[in-house]
Structure 1
């Protein structure tokens, strides 16, 4: 029986890996494809005068595994999930939504502090939410971007839910191309975050008439 030197054996093994179809080791060496990064904008700023409420904590939104990612989701059918191959969000979807909410509520001036965590043991109010939909889908009427978020406003001092709401937006997109989808996601996010801001201010006792 012929014995190959150890070095030659290693070279032959590596050569064999190179010709295996769909080889995971080879794909790992090649790495992920380059993707363009995108961020979404908060709605237009709303000022509600001097701060009258202490602190609002915006908790990280919950999301199922397919949405807890920075990939941009498309649903070819109700039971199928795919992602854009050439683009992704700059942050995972829950972190991006949390950032938009923090910026939107902070810009109103209604709270002395708006943040992702309390400055002390607890804030005055906490915004708790769960992302149900944050995706594009192929519908009979064309490509649509759908966003849906369930939320609760909690009084930390009283340990009580003071308001509940569900916020949705459906925006048509010209196609499933990235150039058409991103503006539709941006419009939908601005609508949903704007709805949540108005609802959250009212739940915390800020009258809409004081905002402009």
Structure 2
């Protein structure tokens, strides 16, 4: 009886690395260590009561390349890369959901703001899709670009209460991680601030009637 010939070790490694679903050779050696970063919510506001009791922030949707805790860089419109030495503490959708829950809950305008309803359903749900959450490289410099589409839906009759498109940018002084993260932080706080004001307005609250409850965070 003849047994299959055993492949040389080097050839076996190359074969594994090229199989569908398998990572490159570096994956066999373990993931590199990366610094973890978290983005902050904007300045906390205290606002009048809204006509919405319970607000549910659904997990934002996004494409696969952004549904990750890796920090995306786009050298061109068709190319995606990631920072090699840093990542977010959570996935991009989970990060945005956390910041929206934290910021809207702090306003005091709603009885409950959460990731899921307390009962079978909440009063209103925010459904959103992240379009951009990345570093954009061009001949003009380095720019953080964030954009989100969102809608508020009445859970009782599936009626759309409001739709909104939101975008925020912030220039970065360079391409090093230490230069990119503060710009991401500034753009994120602007984006969440836009979405908060829009949600309050749709809930019958005038954002101009809100007041700050703490000072603005100071960039690291």
Q: With the length of structure 2 as denominator, give the TM-score of the two structures.
A: 0.85
Distance (whole Å) between structure 1 residues aligned to residue 77 and residue 190 of structure 2: 23
**Bigger Cα displacement from structure 2, 46-55 vs 165-174:** 46-55
Measured in 2, the distance between the counterparts of 1:58 and 1:173 equals: 30
1:81-135, Cα deviation, whole Å (9 max, x unpaired): 0000000111110000000000000000001100000001111111110000000
* CA-CA distance at 1:27 after TM superposition: 3.4
1:107 equivalent to 2:100? Answer no
Deviation at 1:44, TM superposition (A): 0.4
Residue 46 of structure 2 aligns to a residue whose secondary structure is coil
Aligned-pair RMSD on alpha carbons?
Answer: 2.4
* Equivalences for residues 28-47 of structure 1 within 5 A: 28-47=27-46
Task: Assess, with a 3 A threshold, how the Cα gap between structure 1 residues 126 and 16 changes in structure 2: closer, same or farther.
Answer: closer
Contact 2:55 2:124 in 1 (8 A): yes
The aligned counterpart of 2:193 is 194
- Residue correspondence of structure 1 range 65-80 to structure 2 within 5 A: 65-80=64-79
Relative to structure 2, which stretch is displaced further, 153-162 or 193-202?
153-162
Larger mean Cα displacement after TM superposition, 30-39 or 150-159: 150-159
* Greater Cα radius of gyration, structure 1 or 2: 1
Q: How many residues align?
A: 205
The secondary structure found in structure 1 opposite 2:186 is helix
Give matches, 1:163-178, under 5 Å: 163-178=162-177
Structure-1 separation of matches of 2:119 and 2:16: 53
The one-character-per-residue Cα deviations of 1:6-59 (angstroms, maximum 9, x if unpaired) are: xxx98x9447657x5995685344101000111100100010145753100000
Which ranges of structure 2 fall in alignment gaps of 5 or more residues?
A: 18-22, 212-220
